[in-house]
Each structure stands twice: as C-alpha cells, then as structure tokens.
C-alpha cells in the first residue's frame, strides 16, 4: 500500500509527473485535489477535455484505500481502466458486462487492498448486495473518496437525466467521513445547484472553470455547392481523426458513402445500425483504423478520444448547448483542432418544419428559441467564442483570434437603399410571396409565373438588376435576422412587413449588411513542422499504432498526440531526455522509453540530423496582430497613433488591448482608464452580470464609453481566470 503523499512525494507536482508524466496542473486541478485530500466535498465544473479525471485519480494514489468512481458510461470504463493500467495504476471496474466469476475475483482483489480505483455503474452501486460489500471494503481497506462523474445526470434540468442517480445521496448519508467529489461539464447554474442538493454534498466548494477552449478554431461556412469539396479538403489536410455530424440516418449514409468513394477511410454511425456494427465502427475509429466517423447525434457520449482534429456539422446543430458539447469532442488533448459548421437556409426550413410537427406548443416554443440561438451563432459577424460563452453566462471580451469572424472580420456596408427596394417590392407583391419570388421580381425575371401574375407590371420590377440573386439573398436574410422584415412560419415562408420595415421605408432606420468573404480553403493541418519533424512524427505514429495493437488498446493510451509531437520536435536521444517529455510518467518511461529512443536515434542517424536545441513547448499565447499592437503600445504610442499606423480602426486596437489584458499581458490599465472610473465600471459589470456590453453601457449611461468598458472587462477577465 502506498504511503501518504508527504513522505513519498515532496509535492503534488512530483506525484503528477511520476504517475501521469505531466509537469503542471491545469485550471483548478490542484485546488480540487487539495480539497479532496482535506476530506471536503466539492463540485467540479470543467469543460470536456479540461482534465476532470485527474482530479480524483491522483488523490486516489496518495491516500490509503479505494477511490470509488461512479460513472454511467459503461462503454468507457474499460478504456479508462486500460489507460490507468498503462500508467501503472491499479484500477478495475464492476459493471454488467462481467460474469459472476469475474465479479467475485475483482471483489477479492479489492478486499486484498491491491486496487486503488474502482469504477462502478450506478445500478450496481445502489443494488442491495453491493452495499454490504462497500461497508466491508471500508472497514478492511478504507475508502479514499467517492467521485460522481457526469453528475448532471441527477438533474432533470440537465440534458441526460437518469433517475437512479437520484439515489446516490444515500452514499453521503451512509459514509459520512468519506469525501465526495461531483464532476460535470454542464455549465448552467440551475444544474449546478441541483447537483449539490440532490447528492447532499456537505458544504461543497464549487469549482467552475472557464468554458473557453482556446485550442479550438470555430468557423461557419455556407453550405453551397463548394461545401462538399471543402469538407473533403479539410479531411484530407487534417493530421488526425474527424467526426462529421449529419441530421438524419439517410444523410449519414449518403455522406459516408461519398467520402469513401473519394478515398477517405470513413464509417457511418447512427441508431439504425445494429449494436454490433455500431460498436465495431466506434472501435475502429478509436483505434485509428479509420480516420472519420460520419454520425448522427447518437454518436459521442462515451467517446473520449483525445486526438480528434476536426468536428464538422454538415447539417445545422440543434441547440447551442449541444453544439458546444459536440464540437467540444475536438482537441481534447489541447492541440489545435477545427470546428466547422456548414450552414444553409434550407436546413433552417427543414428544422422549422420538424418543429411544426411537435404536438406540444411549449415544446415548439423552446425548440424555436433554440433554433434562433443557433441561427444567431451561425449568422453572427461577432466573435463566435463570445456568443458561445455568453450562452453559458461567461463574459468573454471577444477578439479571440481563433474564429473566422475574428480572423477575417466581415466589413459592414450600408445597404439602406437596396433594403428599401427590397421591402417596397414585398409591399407591391402584397406580402403574399417568399424571398425567391421577390428576388425574381427585383431582377426582372422572365419566368412564366411572374408574367402570369403580371408582376412584370409592378413598379419594382427589374429595379434590382445591378445586384446578383446571391446578393439579394444575403440582404433578405440579413433583414430577417435583424428583424427588419418578418416571415411566416407555417412551413410556407412568406415575407411580411413589420414596424421596423416601415421605419426603413420611411428612412428612419438605416441598414448595414455584413459582407462575407468568399468561401476559401482553410488550413486544418497542425502548426508548422519541418520535413524532418514530420517524417519522424509519422514513424512514431506507426510505432505507437503497432504497440497499441499488440496490447489491444487504443493508440492514444500509449501516448497522446501532443506527447508524440514533442518527441518529434525535441528528439530526445536518451532515456533521461525522453523522461522529460510531458506525458511520459515513470511507468511509460520503463515500458516504452527504450523502443522510442531507439527509433528516434535510428531516424536521426539515417537523416544525419543533429539534435536541435529544445523548442519551446507552448504555442505563442499572443497572436501576431495583437503582438504588433502590444509592441507599438509598449513603445509609448497612443491608441489613435497605433490605429493610424496599423491602418485599423481605433475600436479594433481597443479590442486587441482588451484581449491582451485578458491574456494577462503586462499592461497598466491605469494608463488607459482612470482608477475611479475603473471602479464604477467594475461595479457595473458585476451588477449587470451580462455578457453584453450594451447592457453595461445602458447601466452606466453615456458618460462612459464602450472602449473603457471593454478594457476594464478584459482586465477583469484576466484577473478572474488567473486568481
């Protein structure tokens, strides 16, 4: 049995390196672990990939007794236990997939005190026969804690309610001196509260990490005739696995077939396939036998493949929350990954139609609201991250530099006159036609239907020949999205004028349209690697695959992608150098060190590579454009001067500084905003508790500028995420 932490390891960091090979803790990990070690309850809210598991795995190794992990994801238990064993950690699981003999055998090992971590499904934990076993285990070996994974399952307000989870409060009552940790990736306050109450946690410390996933690049592309080619290009360029989500089984089958024909190793996954086929396809994906899974939303729960490089939604996601969860399956290893939505208005009509079919009016309303939020996201011209995080109640200053809108800001143009033409055409057509017809009239189409209806006689006929049908569509959608025209929703969308439309027609409102840039290829490959690094990386990947297959485990359990990439960059030539790579713990050094070092040495000798000086591990935290602003600012230039020098708008420069403050760069806020004003703004940000600047600005009144608010917001964010 292992001795207490203090005697065996000088610090938690040294234990982390020893067992898991990592050099530092992420986010709240250290604080969470300390809480558990102090025998206190806690709730841990971290986004997918944040590193929740480590929060209970590490303390289990530092305490006497067994850590009991309750998880509803039976399919995952095997994987988690394999991964732990590969790090030399004694773990096991009990669930319905085992025979009675296997169960007895594992129970015996537990009572012998040779196991540190036990994964168990809630049904088993709560069964009558298990309870006495647990008490015996406590007496004989001790219990170091309970970890309740996917804890949102206790809440009806979560997305995955499981009634049996409600019974788990019995644990708290029966094992009063065993600390309990609840973990979830669900962010809403309502669910958090439910978890603490339902599990009867004792004065829990609540840790809520930021939901920002900085390594994910978000983008929305039009689903037009170039979309498929673009997707294909993305998958070919990607250096790893991809998941493509579609709305229906039929679309999944079609797309998977088409990708296969085009040379992509892709498999389908949906509820229409047999259990065996589904399991097999998932298995092949996890083991890197195929690169791509094309799936309905049935796929995902229970996938913790860390090296997914692309999650594409080929059809519109249902809700913003589900989008966050699904896209969140990309890049769990912290390496750059892409999240793309292909967006078409055809999908919107389809979803609207599906919503109309719902019997319950309340359900319809909720679904409509959710659809509107997704549309806001898809159509928006502001930072995509800001929209997502504001949905979770997190104020993010924008200018993330890792989304299409920040990278390629869409210029706004004044299209008031075109809007007037468009709206008066709607009026002339007596508000009885849809967008396509209005555009035909504007562009002077000779279609039979136009002539039959005598719409070629209207005063607006042909007044819009100067713009293409695409441009008119862009305007029409933008008017709809901005609420400047209405559309009926009974399945046959007809355009209607509303109060705002009349304001535009009366020249009381002007209309601005964001002009998207044309679809163009986006690079999904990973950060620059030299030819040699890439060559070595390829060899290391196939070595990893071979070792994994020999042991019947997924390749990422041997080493994660980020660990392999470091090896390829740093080219460790000895075992001790190898042990310094992040992700190489003692056990893995023993098990794999020699063969990897040999492979690297052989490669370097063949290619005549001199081992390079270690490259910095981390990508630069500051983007190029912001770095330029920072440089000028630190050289003493004023904001206006920087704007002029860089040919950017002043607000853009303010955005850069806000983001730099948020990233913790050394900028003195006092030079930008006088301290008394900071205090007032800070107060307003707290009181309004809104991610939207205009709410804060309304609160403060016109004495305060948006610029000042943004700067203070950036600084505040920086402090909160660093404290």
Question: Which of the listed partners (Zn ion, ligand ADP, none) does 455 bind, with a CB threshold of 5 to 8 Å by partner kind?
Answer: none
Q: Which is nearer to Zn ion, 43 or 320 (CB)?
A: 320
Question: Which of the listed partners (Zn ion, ligand ADP, none) does 12 bind, with a CB threshold of 5 to 8 Å by partner kind?
Answer: none
| Cβ-contact 708, 673 below 8 angstroms | yes
Q: How many CB atoms lie within 10 A of CB 110?
A: 21
Question: Which of the listed partners (Zn ion, ligand ADP, none) does 406 bind, with a CB threshold of 5 to 8 Å by partner kind?
Answer: Zn ion
C-alpha neighbours within 13 Å on the C-beta side of residue 198: 25
CA distance 692 to 69: 39
CA distance 604 to 598: 10
Q: Which is nearer to Zn ion, 317 or 655 (CB)?
A: 655
**Minimum CB–partner distance for residue 22 and ligand ADP (Å):** 4
Does residue 216 belong to the site contacting Zn ion (CB under 5 A)?
Answer: no
Question: Which of the listed partners (ligand ADP, Zn ion, none) does 48 bind, with a CB threshold of 5 to 8 Å by partner kind?
Answer: ligand ADP
Return the H-helix or E-strand segment holding 292.
strand 292-295
Q: Which is nearer to ligand ADP, 29 or 155 (CB)?
A: 29
Q: Which is nearer to Zn ion, 420 or 625 (CB)?
A: 625
What lies within 8 Å, CB to CB, of 61 at 6+ separation is: 2, 15, 19, 89, 116
Which residues from 383-412 bind Zn ion, rule CB under 5 A? 383, 385, 400, 403, 406
**Minimum CB–partner distance for residue 329 and ligand ADP (Å):** 9
CA distance 178 to 519: 56
Q: Contact positions toward ligand ADP, by CB under 6 A?
A: 22, 25-26, 29, 46, 48-54, 304, 306, 332-333, 560
| E strand spans, 71-121 | 91-94, 117-120
* Phi, then psi, of 665 in degrees rounded to 5: -70, 150
CA distance 447 to 465: 15
Q: Which is nearer to Zn ion, 403 or 700 (CB)?
A: 403
Q: Which token pair is 177?
A: 């001196």
C-alpha neighbours within 13 Å on the C-beta side of residue 532: 17
**Minimum CB–partner distance for residue 69 and ligand ADP (Å):** 11
What lies within 8 Å, CB to CB, of 302 at 6+ separation is: 73, 75, 76
CA distance 317 to 347: 10
Question: Which of the listed partners (Zn ion, ligand ADP, none) does 52 bind, with a CB threshold of 5 to 8 Å by partner kind?
Answer: ligand ADP
Task: Calculate the CA dihedral of residues 629, 630, 634, 639 and round it to 10 degrees.
Answer: 40
Question: Which of the listed partners (ligand ADP, Zn ion, none) does 385 bind, with a CB threshold of 5 to 8 Å by partner kind?
Answer: Zn ion
**Minimum CB–partner distance for residue 307 and ligand ADP (Å):** 9
Q: Which is nearer to ligand ADP, 399 or 562 (CB)?
A: 562
Question: Which of the listed partners (ligand ADP, Zn ion, none) does 51 bind, with a CB threshold of 5 to 8 Å by partner kind?
Answer: ligand ADP
C-alpha neighbours within 13 Å on the C-beta side of residue 158: 23
**Minimum CB–partner distance for residue 15 and ligand ADP (Å):** 12
Strand 308-313 relative to strand 337-343, pairing = parallel
Question: Which of the listed partners (ligand ADP, Zn ion, none) does 403 bind, with a CB threshold of 5 to 8 Å by partner kind?
Answer: Zn ion
Nearest 5°: the CA angle 228, 225, 385 is: 65
Question: Which of the listed partners (Zn ion, ligand ADP, none) does 383 bind, with a CB threshold of 5 to 8 Å by partner kind?
Answer: Zn ion
**Minimum CB–partner distance for residue 380 and ligand ADP (Å):** 27
Q: Which is nearer to ligand ADP, 326 or 418 (CB)?
A: 326
Q: Which is nearer to ligand ADP, 222 or 306 (CB)?
A: 306
List interacting residues with Zn ion (CB under 5 A).
383, 385, 400, 403, 406
């Amino acid at each position: 049995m292992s001795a207490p932490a203090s005697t065996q390891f000088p610090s938690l960091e040294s234990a982390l390196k020893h067992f898991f090979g990592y050099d530092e803790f992420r986010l709240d990990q250290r604080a969470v672990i300390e809480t558990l070690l102090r025998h206190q309850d806690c709730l841990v809210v971290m986004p997918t990939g944040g590193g929740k598991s480590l929060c209970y795995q590490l303390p289990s190794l530092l305490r006497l007794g067994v850590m009991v992990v309750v998880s509803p994801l039976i399919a995952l238990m095997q994987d988690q236990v394999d991964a732990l064993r590969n790090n030399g950690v004694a773990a096991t699981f009990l669930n319905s997939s085992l025979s009675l003999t296997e169960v007895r055998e594992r129970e015996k090992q537990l009572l012998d005190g040779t196991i540190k971590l036990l994964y168990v499904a809630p049904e088993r934990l709560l069964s009558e026969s298990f309870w006495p076993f647990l008490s015996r285990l406590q007496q004989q070996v001790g219990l170091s804690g309970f970890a309740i994974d996917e804890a949102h399952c206790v809440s009806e307000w979560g997305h995955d309610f499981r009634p049996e989870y409600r019974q788990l409060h019995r644990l708290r009552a029966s094992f009063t001196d065993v600390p309990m940790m609840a973990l979830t990736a669900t962010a809403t306050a309502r669910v958090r509260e439910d978890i603490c109450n339902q599990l009867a946690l004792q004065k829990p410390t609540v840790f809520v990490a930021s939901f920002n996933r900085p390594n994910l690049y978000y983008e929305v592309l039009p689903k037009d005739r170039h979309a498929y080619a673009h997707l294909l290009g993305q998958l070919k360029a990607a250096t790893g696995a991809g998941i493509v989500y579609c709305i229906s089984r039929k679309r999944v089958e079609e797309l998977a077939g088409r990708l296969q024909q085009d040379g992509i190793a892709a498999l389908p996954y949906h509820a229409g396939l047999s259990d065996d086929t589904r399991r097999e396809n998932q298995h092949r994906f996890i083991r890197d036998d195929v690169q791509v899974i094309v799936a309905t939303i049935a796929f995902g729960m229970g996938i913790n493949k860390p090296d997914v490089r692309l999650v594409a939604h080929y059809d519109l996601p249902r809700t913003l929350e589900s989008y966050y969860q699904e896209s969140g399956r990309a890049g769990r290893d912290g390496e750059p990954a892409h999240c793309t939505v292909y967006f078409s208005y055809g999908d919107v009509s389809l979803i609207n139609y599906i919503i109309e079919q719902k019997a319950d009016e309340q359900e319809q309303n909720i679904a409509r609201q959710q659809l509107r939020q997704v549309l806001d996201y898809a159509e928006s011209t502001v930072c995509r991250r800001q929209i997502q995080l504001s949905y979770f109640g997190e104020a993010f200053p924008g200018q993330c530099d890792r989304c299409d809108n920040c990278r390629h800001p869409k210029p706004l143009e004044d299209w008031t006159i075109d809007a007037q033409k468009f709206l008066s055409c709607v009026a002339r057509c007596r508000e009885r036609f849809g967008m396509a017809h209005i555009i035909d009239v504007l562009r002077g189409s000779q279609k039979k239907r136009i002539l039959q209806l005598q719409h070629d006689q209207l005063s607006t006929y042909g007044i819009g020949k100067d713009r293409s049908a695409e441009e008119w569509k862009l305007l029409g959608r933008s008017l709809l999205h901005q609420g400047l025209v209405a559309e009926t929703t009974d399945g046959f969308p007809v355009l209607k004028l509303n109060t705002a439309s009349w304001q535009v027609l009366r020249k009381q409102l002007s209309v601005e349209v964001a002009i998207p840039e044309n679809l163009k290829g986006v690079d999904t490959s990973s950060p620059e690697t030299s030819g040699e690094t890439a060559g070595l990386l390829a060899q290391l990947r196939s070595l990893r695959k071979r070792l994994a297959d020999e042991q019947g485990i997924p390749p990422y359990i041997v080493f994660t992608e980020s660990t392999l990439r470091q090896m390829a960059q740093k080219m460790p030539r000895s075992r001790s150098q190898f042990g310094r790579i992040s992700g190489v713990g003692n056990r893995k050094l023993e098990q794999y060190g020699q063969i990897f070092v040999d492979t690297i040495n052989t490669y370097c000798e063949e290619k005549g590579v001199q081992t390079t000086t270690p490259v910095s591990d981390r990508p630069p935290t500051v983007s190029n454009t912001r770095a330029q602003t920072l440089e000028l600012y630190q050289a003493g230039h004023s904001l206006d001067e920087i704007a002029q020098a860089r040919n950017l708008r002043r607000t853009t420069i303010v955005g850069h500084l806000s983001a730099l403050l948020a990233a913790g760069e050394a900028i003195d806020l006092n030079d930008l905003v006088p301290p008394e004003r900071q205090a007032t703004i800070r107060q307003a940000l707290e009181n309004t508790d809104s991610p939207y600047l205009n709410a804060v600005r309304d609160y403060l009144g016109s004495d305060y500028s948006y610029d000042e608010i943004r700067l203070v917001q950036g600084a505040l964010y920086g402090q909160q995420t660093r404290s």
